[in-house]
């Protein structure tokens, strides 16, 4: 990233941030998905899409298949525990144009599940397994959803905020 | 040293038979003493070789190597030997006991046996068989059996795999080695080791390796490459490559038995270098006739020097080259060395006919 | 191939399914080095976490430091002074050289060449000496801070660095002479473990592996961060995507890194080395994904803050994990002997994979 957008945060100097360049995808997304999708621009100027879990596959399909900016590179896949809900975060990049997009998906904490992204990006395989291992989020349609870091018999999902360390 | 002892033994033998001791016993004792002398020689050479190899390697790898045990680390091999002797010889519980114990012996003994026909100098040969080369080839082939036995008897899949690979490698490369050794035999017309050395007298241009039209130089190359494979040394040391197989066929061995495998490798190294020197590089002949040092000791010095040069090259190769993959190794032996060996024999035959 | 194995570059367990000599499937079993680093991040203040970041990719600690500091700087809007940026570039590129030297040595070992690792480590000592001069550490540096670096370059640093840089160019030529042109090495590495570029991107492979497959994708060029857009350097790209290309490329990258450091040493301005940041930093709530081009690929840091003194969530995007994911693609159809070579060419660090 060659520039950083700075937002006054009370601790450091404020600068007037130039308006972020618009991502042409934004209008199309809002048009086709309507309510299921919310868009904004984050501090770095990247388009951030919050999508409902049921629509995530459709969104991914659209992103990877886009003619001008195919989002072929899944940079990062992880999750956040917001105490009342879970959220999966996907960082995507279109390598021909180097445009970046962030997709966030809020999941119910009780039975967190979302469609797997492996059919679009095979690299999501292990990344989703790690999220499953450490957060307990199930990925529907994942070819081999099992723990990756922790032993198979481990109980619990350590990265959840309410995880209690076992005694031994 | 060896000369002295051999002379003493022979004179002692004559003395004894003159004194009336029955001939058979004299000969028996004589032979045992000669064997002991040869074994001692082999062991001493091995010990020195271990030290030289480690130091040479070290310097090639920008380090100093062994320096602590004894002045400049000279006693290191002795320390290694003592360590191995004092270690417990563990036999795995499910191993085939008889074969497990027999294997190291079967690997070491052929190496020792082959030492008998190496001409260390003018007249310094334990027994000058007139079929020397045939004897060497047959005897060294027996060593493979020991390796297979070791791999099998260890009852360990890594050992088995390593043993099979080693065996396959050695057997495959026996063929080019035999072919390469046949060339000097054809050239000189005799199977006797001393005979071949005598044919190379006069100066280094008579040595087979340097004799035009250099067909024998090619044979010496093939022989050296084959010898590297026989020794399981880099670039052919895949059976020992710890990247897959821990230590190959000798994984389960410890203590004295492991020491035997070790010894066998070094003894074979000296042996094969000695054979190459004898057949291709003039044996104990000096490069220029006036440089020939007097007496038996003199010829021994030349033989020794040449053998050490060859061993240095072997060590050098090990420090430098990466290793072949198993199938590449086999391909190289069967598809390239064997046809080359056959071609050389053909050429040698033609050359001999011509002259 | 179990977790303790000389050739798995750390504690990695690979479950192989083989059909004779051919590999049919590879399943890595990870987690042997899982230390819960991401959970630890939630229990440490930002500045307390910096030393822990060193331990992710421990061969490229500067990059871990950098990516974490950048993520915090992105969220908190901290500017980094010029001199600090230059210093950061210098130490990162020196770290890259050191890491690639380890790759070179270890890869030589994997292929069976026992000498290159010693040469590589000789050079690496000098690089680590330079880094120690700057940061006090040889492998884990804890050097970067939010808004700059912890300490300035010592006065004689530039002189020593230049000596080292001149030497490294010659040495890389020497390394090429030692391994790259060797036929055995070429046979072992050419055509082995080929990865197609489209597959690479789909799997998330980045760094030298991706570039070896033909895609000139280097974050320092594609998404310049820090001040990389001011330096002139080439991006080595391979043609075939096999292990040979990966090897040659990483050696080339050493040269290019040396180029960058030279330019940085010439142009470095005077000035402060850290902007004023509060000791107890409380960045505003938000999130950021910072990424750098580490020796293994795209190293990313996704940081979520909630306005408190500790990160709310920190996730490291591990280049080695995504690179390792491609191993099944690379190995199927290859022989067991190739597995070690392929694994070596991926150049993973388990600290990165498992965290």
Q: For residue range A18-60, what is the model confidence (pLDDT) as tens digits?
A: 565 666 777 777 777 777 777 888 888 788 888 888 888 888 8
Q: CB contact, 8 Å: C41 with chain A?
A: no
Tell if the CB–CB gap between A72 and C321 is shorter than 8 Å: no
Q: How far is A47 from chain C (nearest CA, A)?
A: 13
Tell if the CB–CB gap between C78 and A2 is shorter than 8 Å: no
Integer Cα distance of B21 and B109 in angstroms: 30
Tell if the CB–CB gap between A76 and C203 is shorter than 8 Å: no
ipTM (interface pTM): 0.84
Q: For residue range C230-270, what is the model confidence (pLDDT) as tens digits?
A: 888 888 888 888 889 889 989 899 999 999 999 999 888 88
Picking from B344, B283, B269, the residue whose alpha carbon sits closest to that of residue B313 is B269
Residue B171 scores a pLDDT above 70: yes
A and C: number of Cβ contacts within 8 A: 114
Q: For residue range B302-344, what is the model confidence (pLDDT) as tens digits?
A: 888 888 888 888 888 888 888 887 778 888 888 888 888 898 8
Q: Which two tokens stand for residue C5?
A: 């194995």
Give the per-residue pLDDT at A11: 36
pLDDT band (50, 70, 90) for residue A15: very low
Q: How far is C34 from chain B (nearest CA, A)?
A: 24
Cα separation values, B281 from B203, B300, B343, C101, Å? 10, 14, 21, 42
Integer Cα distance of C295 and C293 in angstroms: 7
Give the per-residue pLDDT at B240: 63
Residue B276 scores a pLDDT above 80: yes
Which of the other chains make 3 or more beta carbon contacts under 8 angstroms with chain B?
C
CA atoms within 13 A on the CB side of B261: 27
Determine contact, residues C277/C146, Cβ cutoff 8 Å. Answer: yes
Mean pLDDT within C35-64 = 88
Residue A3 scores a pLDDT above 70: no
C204 neighbourhood in chain A, CB within 8 Å? 73-75, 121, 123-124, 127
Task: Find the residue in A nearest to C31 (Cα).
Answer: A149
Give the per-residue pLDDT at C95: 92
Tell if the CB–CB gap between C114 and B243 is shorter than 8 Å: no
pLDDT band (50, 70, 90) for residue A117: confident
A150 neighbourhood in chain C, CB within 8 Å? 31, 34
Determine contact, residues A92/A73, Cβ cutoff 8 Å. Answer: yes
H/E stretch holding B42: helix B23-60
Determine contact, residues C82/C269, Cβ cutoff 8 Å. Answer: yes
Q: Which distant-in-sequence residues (6+ apart) come within 8 Å of B329 by Cβ?
A: B169, B229, B236, B238
Give the per-residue pLDDT at C98: 92
B327 neighbourhood in chain C, CB within 8 Å? 21, 335, 337
Give the per-residue pLDDT at B215: 77
Picking from B272, B283, B135, B271, the residue whose alpha carbon sits closest to that of residue B209 is B283
Q: How wide is the angle at C-alpha A77 spanned by C-alphas A72 and A79, nearest 5°?
A: 155
CA atoms within 13 A on the CB side of C85: 17
Determine contact, residues C103/B49, Cβ cutoff 8 Å. Answer: no
Q: How far is B60 from chain C (nearest CA, A)?
A: 8
Q: CB contact, 8 Å: B289 with chain C?
A: no
Q: Could you tell me whether strands A99-108 and A113-115 are parallel, antiparallel, or unpaired per DSSP bridges?
A: unpaired
Our measurement of the distance from residue B11's CA atom to the centroid of its chain's CA atoms, rounded to an integer in Å, reads 29
Residue B3 scores a pLDDT above 70: no
Give the per-residue pLDDT at B248: 64
Q: CB contact, 8 Å: C106 with chain B?
A: no
Which of the other chains make 3 or more beta carbon contacts under 8 angstroms with chain A?
C
Integer Cα distance of C62 and C83 in angstroms: 17
The DSSP secondary structure of B200-265, one letter per residue, reads TTTBGGGSGGG-TT-HHHHHHHHHHHHHHHHTT-TTS-GGG-HHHHTTGGGTT--HHHHHHHHHHH
Tell if the CB–CB gap between A127 and C224 is shorter than 8 Å: no
Chains A and C touch (3+ CB pairs under 8 A): yes
Integer Cα distance of C141 and C270 in angstroms: 23
A134 neighbourhood in chain C, CB within 8 Å? 38
Residue B243 scores a pLDDT above 50: no
């Amino acid at each position: 990233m060659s520039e950083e957008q700075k937002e006054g945060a009370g601790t450091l100097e404020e600068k007037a941030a130039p308006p972020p360049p618009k991502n042409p995808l934004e209008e199309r997304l809002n048009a086709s998905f309507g309510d299921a999708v919310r868009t904004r621009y984050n501090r770095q100027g990247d388009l951030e899409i919050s999508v409902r879990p049921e629509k995530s596959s459709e969104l991914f399909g659209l992103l990877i298949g886009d003619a001008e900016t195919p989002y072929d590179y899944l940079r990062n896949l992880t999750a956040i525990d917001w105490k009342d809900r879970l959220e999966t975060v996907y960082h995507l990049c279109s390598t021909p144009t180097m445009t970046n997009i962030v997709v966030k998906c809020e999941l119910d904490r009780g039975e967190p599940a979302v469609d797997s992204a492996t059919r679009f990006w095979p690299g999501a395989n292990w990344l989703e397994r790690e999220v499953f291992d450490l957060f307990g989020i199930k990925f529907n349609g994942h070819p081999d959803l099992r723990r990756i870091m922790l032993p198979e018999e481990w109980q619990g999902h350590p990265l959840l905020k309410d995880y209690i360390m076992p005694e031994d | 040293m060896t000369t002295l002892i051999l002379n003493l033994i022979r004179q002692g033998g004559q003395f004894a038979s003159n004194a009336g001791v029955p001939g058979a016993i004299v000969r028996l004792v004589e032979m045992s003493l000669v064997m002991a002398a040869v074994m001692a020689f082999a062991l001493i050479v091995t010990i020195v070789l271990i030290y030289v190899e480690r130091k040479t390697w070290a310097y090639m790898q920008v380090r100093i190597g062994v320096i602590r045990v004894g002045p400049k680390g000279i006693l290191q091999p002795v320390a290694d030997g003592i360590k191995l002797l004092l270690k417990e010889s563990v036999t795995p519980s499910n191993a085939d006991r008889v074969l497990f114990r027999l294997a190291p012996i079967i690997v070491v003994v052929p190496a020792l046996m082959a030492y008998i026909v190496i001409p260390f100098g003018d007249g310094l040969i334990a027994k000058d068989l007139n079929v020397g080369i045939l004897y060497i080839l047959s005897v060294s082939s027996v060593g493979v059996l020991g390796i297979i036995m070791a791999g099998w008897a260890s009852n360990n899949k890594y050992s088995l795999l390593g043993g099979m690979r080693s065996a396959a490698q050695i057997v495959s490369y026996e063929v080019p080695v035999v072919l390469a050794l046949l060339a000097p035999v054809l050239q000189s017309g005799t199977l006797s080791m001393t005979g071949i050395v005598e044919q190379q007298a006069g100066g280094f241009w008579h040595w087979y390796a340097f004799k035009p039209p250099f067909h024998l130089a090619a044979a010496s190359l093939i022989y050296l490459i084959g010898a590297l494979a026989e020794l399981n040394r880099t670039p052919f040391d895949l059976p020992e490559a710890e990247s897959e197989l821990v230590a190959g066929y000798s994984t389960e061995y410890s203590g004295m038995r492991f020491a035997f495998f070790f010894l066998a490798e070094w003894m074979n190294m000296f042996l094969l270098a000695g054979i190459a020197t004898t057949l291709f590089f003039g044996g104990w002949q000096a490069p220029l006739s006036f440089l020939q040092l007097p007496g038996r000791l003199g010829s021994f010095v030349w033989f020794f020097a040449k053998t050490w040069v060859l061993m240095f090259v072997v060590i050098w190769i090990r420090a430098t080259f990466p290793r072949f993959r198993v199938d590449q190794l086999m391909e190289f032996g069967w598809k390239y060395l064997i046809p080359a060996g056959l071609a050389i024999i053909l050429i040698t035959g033609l050359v001999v006919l011509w002259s | 191939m179990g977790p303790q194995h000389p050739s798995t570059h750390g504690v990695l367990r690979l479950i192989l399914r083989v059909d004779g000599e051919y590999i049919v499937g590879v399943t890595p079993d990870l987690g042997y080095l899982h230390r819960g680093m991401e959970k630890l991040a939630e229990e440490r203040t930002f500045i307390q976490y910096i030393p822990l970041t060193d331990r992710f990719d421990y061969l490229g600690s500067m990059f871990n430091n950098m990516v974490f500091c950048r993520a915090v700087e992105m969220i908190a809007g901290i500017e980094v002074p010029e001199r600090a940026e230059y210093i950061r570039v210098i130490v990162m590129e020196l770290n890259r050289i050191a890491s690639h030297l380890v790759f070179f040595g270890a890869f030589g070992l994997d292929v069976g060449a026992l000498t290159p690792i010693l040469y590589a480590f000789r050079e690496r000592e000098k690089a680590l000496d330079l880094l120690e001069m700057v940061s006090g550490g040889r492998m884990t540096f804890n050097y970067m801070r939010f808004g700059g670096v912890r300490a300035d370059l010592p006065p004689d640093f530039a002189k020593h660095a230049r000596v080292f840089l001149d030497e490294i160019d010659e040495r890389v030529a020497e390394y090429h002479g030692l391994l790259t042109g060797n036929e055995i090495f070429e046979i072992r590495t050419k055509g082995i473990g080929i990865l197609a570029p489209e597959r690479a991107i789909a799997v998330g492979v980045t760094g030298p592996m991706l570039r070896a497959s033909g895609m000139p994708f280097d974050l320092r060029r594609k998404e310049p961060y820090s001040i990389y857009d001011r330096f002139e350097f080439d991006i080595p790209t391979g043609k075939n995507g096999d292990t040979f290309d990966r090897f040659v490329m990483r050696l080339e990258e050493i040269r290019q890194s040396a180029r960058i450091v030279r330019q940085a040493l010439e142009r470095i301005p005077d000035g402060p080395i850290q902007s004023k940041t509060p000791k107890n930093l409380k960045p505003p709530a938000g999130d950021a994904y910072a990424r750098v081009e580490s020796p293994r690929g795209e190293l990313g840091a996704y940081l979520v803050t909630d306005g408190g003194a500790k990160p709310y969530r920190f996730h490291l995007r591990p280049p080695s994990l995504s690179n390792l994911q491609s191993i099944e693609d690379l190995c199927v159809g290859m022989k067991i002997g190739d597995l070690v070579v392929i694994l070596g060419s991926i150049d993973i660090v388990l600290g990165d994979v498992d965290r």
